[in-house]
Chains A and B, each alone.
Chain A
C-alpha cells in the first residue's frame, strides 16, 4: 500500500481515483435510494427492482468496508475490529460468522486476505448479478416517472441510443473522471500509521457512511445495536411489501413517507452527531 502510494509511478493518482470514486459511489447509491423511496417508485410492479437495489446498497457498503480495512492502517484496523465484534454479537451464528470473516480469532494478516477476496471476488460478482437484475427489471418495467394528475396522456418519449444517449453517458463519464482527478490531486489519499494491534488510537472513526452505525453503537447496547441494524437492513430490502401492509392498515394516509422521513432524519442526525463530535 505504501509502495503504491509513494513509489510506483502514478500510484497515488490511481489510488486517489479509486478512493474518491468509492465515496461518490456510496453517496450516489444512497441519494438514488432516497429519491426512489420518496417518489414511491418502489411500488408495484417494481418491488423486486427496489429489493435488488437495496441489496446493491448493502453490497456497496460492503465494498467500502472491506476496501477501507484493506489499508491496514491504525484507524481502519480498529474499525475492522469493531465490526468483527459486532458480527460476533449476532445471536446464534455470530461467533462462527466472525471467525469466518476474520480468518481466526482476531484481525490479522489472515483477515486481510479474506477481505481481499471479498473485495475483488465475491462482492464484485454479487454486485454484477444484482445490478444485472436491477437493470433488467428497470428495462422491463420502464423508468418510473412522475405522473401528475392533470398531465396529458403520456407521450412516447424514446430517443435513439446512438448517438444521443451514448454521448450523454460519455459526457457524464468525462465530467466524473475530471472531477475524480481533481479530487485526487487536491486531496490525495494519505496513509495513516500502520496497524498496531496493541495500541488503539485515541479516536477511532470509520468511513463517513458508517458514522451512523458507530454512533448508534455508542448510544445503545451491543446486542441491541446489532439486532436493530439487522432489522433495519431487512426492512430496507423488504420495504415494498411492508409498505403494502401499511397501506392496507391505513389506506388513506401514506405512512411510508412519514417513516422514511423519520429514518432519513435519524440517519442524518446520527451521522452529523458523529461527524461533529
Chain B
C-alpha cells in the first residue's frame, strides 16, 4: 500500500502531465496544420469554346490556369476534354493529326483519341490521360477543372 501522501502527489503529477499534454498537444496540432496546410480541391467551370468552333472531327487546344493544357476533341458529336500530361512521368503529350493519336516523346507512349494508352510504358501500366468533364450550355462549351487551393 502506497502511503496516502505519496498517492496524492503521484495523482497530481498525472493530472499535471495530462493538462500539459492536452494543451501543448493542441497547440502542436495547430502548428502541424499550419506547416502542412491541407489543400482543398475546388471545382470550377471555365469557358472552353463555342460549339461552332468545334465541329465533329475537329480538335482544339486550350490553356488552363497554371500552365496545364487541355485538348478538346469532337468525335462524332461527343465532346471530350483530355489533359496533355502523360500519366507515366509527367511529360507533355501532343496530338498527331495524321495518326489520330496522342504521342508522348519522352518514352514513346501512345494514346488513343479517347485518352486510353495503347502503346509504350503507359499502356503497360494500364494508364490513360486525365479526362475533364465537359458541359454544353447554349452554344458554349464549358470545362470543369479541379484546382487545389
Contacts and interface: CB of A to CB of B under 8 A. Distances in A.
Whether chain A touches chain B in the assembled complex (some CB pair under 8 Å): yes
A170 interface: yes
Contacts of A7: 37
Interface in B78-113: none
Interface in B12-34: 20, 23, 27, 30-31, 33-34
A147 interface: no
Given A10-B30, A10-B31, A174 B37 contact: no
A238 to B, nearest CB: 41
Interface residues of B, number: 9
A174 B30 contact: no
B37 A9 contact: yes
Given A13-B30, A14-B31, A8 B20 contact: no
B5 interface: no
B31 to A, nearest CB: 7
Contacts, number: 22
A170 B20 contact: yes
A10 B34 CA distance: 6
A177 B24 CA distance: 10
B29 to A, nearest CB: 9
B52 interface: no
Interface in A60-82: none
A13 B34 CA distance: 9
B38 A174 contact: no
Contacts of A13: 30, 34
A201 interface: no
B38 A9 contact: yes
A8 B31 CA distance: 11
Nearest to B23: A174
Nearest to B13: A163
Interface string A8-21: 11110110000000
A177 B27 contact: yes
A13 to B, nearest CB: 6
B71 to A, nearest CB: 32
A7 B38 CA distance: 11
Contacts of A174: 20, 23
A207 to B, nearest CB: 24
Contacts of B38: 9
Interface in A93-130: none
A14 B34 contact: yes
Nearest to A9: B33
Contacts of A14: 30-31, 34
B34 A9 contact: yes
Contacts of B20: 170, 174
A182 B30 CA distance: 15
Interface in A136-175: 170, 174
Contacts of B30: 9-10, 13-14
A8 B23 contact: no
A177 B26 CA distance: 12
B149 to A, nearest CB: 8
What 5 pairs across the A-B complex have the smallest Cβ distances?
Answer: A9-B33, A10-B30, A10-B34, A8-B37, A14-B34
22 contacts: A7-B37, A8-B34, A8-B37, A9-B30, A9-B33, A9-B34, A9-B37, A9-B38, A10-B30, A10-B31, A10-B33, A10-B34, A11-B34, A13-B30, A13-B34, A14-B30, A14-B31, A14-B34, A170-B20, A174-B20, A174-B23, A177-B27
Given A9-B38, A10-B31, A14-B31, 10 more contacts: A8-B34, A9-B30, A9-B33, A9-B34, A9-B37, A10-B30, A10-B34, A13-B30, A170-B20, A174-B20
